[in-house]
Amino acid sequence: MPFPWLTPFLAGHEQFANSFQPGRSFPWLSGLFRGQEQTTSAAPSAGNEQAEYLEGTPTIDRMVHAATSQFTLGISPAAMTVAFADWATHLAWAPGKQHVLLTKALRKAARFDTYAARCAADPNTPCCIEPLPQDKRFRAPAWQRWPYNLIHQSFLLTQQWWHNATTGVRGVSPHHENVVNFVTRQMLDVFAPSNFLLTNPELLEITEKEGGQNLVRGAVNFVEDWERAIAGRPPMGAESLQIGRDLAVTQGKVIYRNRLMELIQYEPSTKNVYAEPVLMVPAWIMKYYILDLSPANSLVRYLVDRGHTVFMISWRNPGVEDRDLSMEDYRRLGLERALNVVQSVVPGRKIDAVGYCLGGTLLTIEAAALARKGKEWLNTVTLLAAQTDFGEAGELALYVDYSELAFLEDVMWNQGYLDTKQMAGAFQLLRSNDLIWSRILRSYLVGCREKMNDLMVWNADATRMPYKMHSQYLRSLFLNNDLAEGRYEVDGRPIALSDIRVPMFVVGTERDHVAPWRSVYKIQMPTDTNVTFVLTSGGHNAGIVSEPGHPRRHYRMSYRRHDEKYIDPTTWLEETPKHEGSWWPAWGEWLVKHAGDRVSPPPMGAPKKGHTPITAAPGTYVMQR
């Protein structure tokens, strides 16, 4: 041992752990007292690179990483150091780029001085720099008055210069450039003049008008939010909408349950139903009722009212005891088991399978595995904002490289799962102005509470991700892109997406930060089947929850036969016409086109086959926190 003085400490760690119980008071220490022998001596299975890497990691390294994450918000210091070192080193050896940046700085200073001088003579002088189209912070007329016009113009010029400084440095890897640019932008946004009372004219006007009462309300809001965060309670106002009363109220029964999921069968609302049942597979990173929100925007109710027999997987919210659940467990105990139960209820019929987000990725894996085995269980496959090719994974790729993944694996190893707060923080940073700073301003400086709607309540009701499964997902799919490149294995053999022959309906959303639509669009390249592709307005969630009658909604749709030439996404976007309204009716027509005859509704469950209804929908797993 390189540190002999640790020997007596490690030798007696079990007795010390039993008496001291460090995991209760200091959770990050619990890793030091868990699995020391397995971590250092267990032999990894042959050919399993991930297992070999994880088993060969000393426990004390993992403990240090887990402890460090509490101060770095889960970000790997090594990953940040390497990224900034790559950028700084190349910039230091680029005198031409330095000269360009110096010239730009002088020009921006001259432009700002000229603007300031003209404003002194004419307050209506046009701005010397305009914010980006998505930047709404400085749109109010109050920002055009002195001195706030100078303050926000100076900030925008500084922000633009730093963008020039962190991009276009020859030799820096694209990933490191994106990371440096992203982190620099986040740091600048912290000090934006809109975030401070004395430099925000809108806040000053409100404070003057209300005599400071907005700040009093804001302080109360802050204390309430702090108390709820400490207690692990949902945000203020979330109690106004409850699962089973206001949300997820479509009538149904839980007809099957195992340690991983509950399967819900919804009651028919029409006299006859289409012969082929619909199985919906949500992501286990979210609660299933995103697809069954309020009655007015429930995709489940929309299908049931149009004569479909609908089944839904409701995933269990994993805890530390589920740390070793794998992607294969979710496929086998989750999706494949659900398919078996549905076939028991509706025997002799193929299934219209619908996968959302990560559930869609799992559904694609299962579809390819079934095709390889020659099992014709599926009638159609619908993918909602689901990636199968992670080569263009979008802004989430900022958080994933080998260094960051190793760090995150150690954090999850210590906890047993990826916490909901860690996931939420990563997603919020991608849109920090909209999801962090604007919320802070409204709640704590303006003193206004935003009324919670159904989608906001669902968004606050997040789930955890098991350690082993999430590590496999990030390493195999997200980082190595094994599924798209033919290396992803099921039952010990690689699967091929080209084996899928059933018709596919694929939906991407225009403003998706989780599954960018150009990445979703790529499903047409490896598959050898007919694909209907839809691009709808909205983001990852709001674009899918797009019921008929929803204002300001539009979509584009095309159909491509398996033997037709591929069209790149840019050309497709230019050539495909826009349709106003929701994409739901178009999908409904597509389902009916591939459906069979109308028949009498099947029974609830299959009691003779051991699938007796257990409890009423929405079940018990969706209630877990």
Residues designated catalytic: 357
For residues 279 and 370, is the Cβ–Cβ distance under 8 A?
Answer: no
Encoded amino acid at 458, one letter: W
- Cα–Cα distance for residue pair 343/390, rounded to 1 Å: 32
* Length of the chain (residues): 625
For residue 464, give every residue at least 6 positions away whose Cβ sits within 8 Å of its Cβ, in sequence order, or none: 317, 318, 319, 417, 418, 419, 420
For residues 69 and 62, is the Cβ–Cβ distance under 8 A?
Answer: no
218: closest CA among 559, 11, 449, 427?
449
Classify 530 in phi/psi space as left (phi over 0), alpha (psi -120 to 50) or beta. Answer: beta
Residue 286 has what DSSP assignment? S
For residue 112, give every residue at least 6 positions away whose Cβ sits within 8 Å of its Cβ, in sequence order, or none: 128, 150, 153, 154, 157
Half-sphere exposure for 493 (CA within 13 Å, toward CB): 7
Kindly state the tokens that stand for 214.
């907005």
CA distances from 489 to 43, 173, 313, 334, 362 (A): 21, 30, 23, 17, 12
32: closest CA among 57, 56, 60?
60
3-state secondary structure of 437: helix
- Cα–Cα distance for residue pair 407/177, rounded to 1 Å: 20
Strand locations in 303-394 (E): 310-315, 351-356, 378-384
Half-sphere exposure for 149 (CA within 13 Å, toward CB): 21
For residues 255 and 611, is the Cβ–Cβ distance under 8 A?
Answer: yes
Kindly state the tokens that stand for 108.
């921006």
The DSSP secondary structure of 483-540, one letter per residue, reads TTTT--EETTEE--GGG--S-EEEEEETT-SSS-HHHHHGGGTT--S-EEEEEESS-T
The continuous run of DSSP H or E covering 287 comes out as: none
Core vs surface per residue 590-622: b (16+ CB within 10 A) or e: bbeeebeeeeeebebbbeeeebebeeebbbebb
For residues 555 and 587, is the Cβ–Cβ distance under 8 A?
Answer: no
